[in-house]
């Protein structure tokens, strides 16, 4: 089994050297062909300089510099499409996912029973608020998107490279790796792993970003909001009929005092709310169609380092003879 490790990097100049040291020690100890792909997602600090030095230092390490910040899942997609080997492992750049746990993922993936394995923590590595938000997102994926394995999802995952054939046509700025992986296989499992708490600074995933990610999955991969708008219209129609019948009955029995002021206000409010909500939902879908029609890219690679070297069987770290270029030869399956 050969392994490509993809690491999306953002504001991780302090953690990358230690991560690569530990990662290369683990991969060398496994004695399998391997490569590491560092995808710097338009980080505003000197993360790219650190990643470039690491790619020069370690032979099987390659680095991609995206032209701006596209988001974690878009950066992951860029790295997945650059991978050359049989199995892809993804992990975060902040040392919360210990590289020493990678053999557990690969052991669970060994054989033909599973195509995708998630590393599920023994204990939540995030705070209570972030953990609650994460569980809410997973519940939404399970219920709305029909991703039955959503509750075991984590950013620490290993899957067979051939699964990317299932999302070859994925374009546009809205990407969700776990949703598109669910398109490619149902042979999904999980293993319990130890995860660490973040040592350096707060997480880059703020509550606002989690809400955006949830909305992206909801509107980008499901038609449920459109059905909700239809249900809402039906419900408001029923309420309108009840109110109309009430007004007519009051008029028939002579109980009407003011000529329908309260009823009219109530009906206008209900119908206006339903119309605005429905228009907003439709507008979200139309906006996404418009964005896709403009040809907005999923990502753009500014620079590559390490593409003169092939993935290798582990060897002592040393100069890789790598070249620095802005337009290196394309990797297999690159789009």
Tokens of 117: 């394995």
Q: Quick one: 154 and 26 in the same domain?
A: yes
| Residue 329: C-alpha distances to residues 11, 117, 190, 305 (Å) | 27, 31, 36, 11
Q: Quick one: 25 and 148 in the same domain?
A: yes
Tokens of 268: 């206008």
Q: Give domain status of residue 320, yes or no.
A: yes
- Per-chain mean pLDDT for the chain: 77
CA angle in degrees (0–180, nearest 5) for 332-333-335: 120
Q: 42 in the Ramachandran plot: left (φ > 0), alpha (ψ -120 to 50) or beta?
A: left
The per-residue pLDDT for range 48-96, each reduced to its tens digit, is 999 999 999 888 999 999 999 998 899 999 999 999 999 999 999 988 8
pLDDT at residue 271, as a whole number: 74
Range of the domain at 176: 3-221+297-325
Mean pLDDT of all residues in 228-233? 74
Mean pLDDT of all residues in 265-293? 72
d(Cα 168, Cα 156) in Å, to the nearest integer? 22
- The CATH number of the domain holding residue 28 is 3.90.550.10
Q: Give domain status of residue 229, yes or no.
A: yes
Q: Quick one: 287 and 308 in the same domain?
A: no
Give alpha helix (H) positions in 31-157.
47-57, 72-82, 102-109, 128-144
Q: Quick one: 237 and 308 in the same domain?
A: no
Domains: count for the chain: 2
pLDDT bucket at 278, cuts 50 / 70 / 90: confident
Residue entry with tokens 């599973």: 114
Q: For residue 318, how many other CB atoms are within 10 A of its CB? A: 9
Q: Give domain status of residue 142, yes or no.
A: yes
Q: Quick one: 196 and 248 in the same domain?
A: no
Q: Quick one: 140 and 282 in the same domain?
A: no
Q: Quick one: 286 and 307 in the same domain?
A: no
d(Cα 214, Cα 268) in Å, to the nearest integer? 32
Q: Are 28 and 101 in contact (CB under 8 A)?
A: no
- Percent of the chain whose predicted confidence (pLDDT) is above 70: 67
Q: Quick one: 23 and 121 in the same domain?
A: yes
Longest distance between any two alpha carbons in the chain, whole Å: 95
Measured in Å, how far apart are the chain's first and last C-alpha atoms? 25
Q: Rounded to 5 degrees, what are φ and ψ at 37?
A: -115, 115
Q: Give domain status of residue 334, yes or no.
A: no
Q: Is 250 exposed, middle or buried (0-12, 13-18, 19+ CB in 10 A)?
A: middle
Q: Quick one: 17 and 70 in the same domain?
A: yes
pLDDT at residue 105, as a whole number: 93
Q: Give domain status of residue 278, yes or no.
A: yes
Q: Rounded to 5 degrees, what are φ and ψ at 66?
A: -80, 150
Q: Quick one: 99 and 139 in the same domain?
A: yes
pLDDT at residue 315, as a whole number: 40
Tokens of 311: 């993935």
Q: Quick one: 121 and 228 in the same domain?
A: no
The per-residue pLDDT for range 162-194, each reduced to its tens digit, is 999 988 888 877 788 888 888 888 899 989 998
Q: Give domain status of residue 333, yes or no.
A: no
Residue entry with tokens 């599920």: 120
Q: Give domain status of residue 330, yes or no.
A: no
Q: Quick one: 100 and 154 in the same domain?
A: yes
């Amino acid at each position: 089994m050969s392994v490509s490790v993809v690491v999306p990097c953002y504001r991780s100049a302090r953690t990358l050297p230690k991560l690569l040291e530990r990662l290369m020690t683990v991969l060398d100890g496994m004695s399998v062909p391997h490569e590491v792909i560092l995808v710097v997602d338009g980080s505003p600090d000197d993360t790219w300089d650190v990643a470039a030095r690491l790619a020069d230092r370690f032979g099987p390490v390659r680095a991609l510099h995206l032209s701006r910040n596209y988001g974690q899942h878009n950066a992951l997609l860029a790295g997945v499409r650059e991978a050359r080997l049989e199995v892809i492992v993804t992990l975060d750049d902040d040392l919360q996912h210990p590289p020493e746990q990678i053999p557990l993922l690969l052991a669970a993936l060994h054989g033909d029973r599973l195509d995708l394995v998630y590393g599920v923590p023994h204990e939540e590595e995030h705070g209570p608020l972030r953990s609650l938000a994460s569980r809410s997102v997973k519940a939404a994926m399970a219920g709305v998107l029909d991703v039955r394995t959503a509750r075991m999802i984590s950013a620490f995952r290993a899957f067979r490279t051939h699964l990317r054939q299932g999302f070859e046509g994925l374009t546009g700025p809205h990407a969700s790796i776990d949703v598109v992986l669910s398109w490619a296989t149902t042979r999904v499992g999980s293993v319990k792993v130890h995860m660490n708490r973040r040592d350096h600074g707060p997480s880059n995933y703020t509550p606002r970003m989690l809400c955006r990610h949830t909305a992206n999955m909801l509107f980008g991969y499901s038609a449920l909001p459109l059905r909700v708008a239809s249900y809402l219209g039906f419900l408001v129609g029923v309420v309108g009929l009840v109110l109309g019948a009430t007004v007519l009955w009051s008029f028939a029995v002579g109980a009407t005092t003011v000529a329908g002021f309260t009823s009219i206000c109530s009906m206008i409010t209900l119908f206006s709310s339903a119309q605005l909500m429905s228009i907003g939902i439709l507008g979200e879908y139309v906006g996404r169609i418009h964005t896709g029609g403009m040809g907005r890219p999923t990502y753009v690679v500014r620079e590559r380092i390490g593409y003169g070297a092939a993935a290798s069987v582990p060897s002592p770290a040393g100069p890789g003879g790598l070249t620095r270029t802005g337009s290196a030869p394309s990797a297999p399956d690159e789009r």
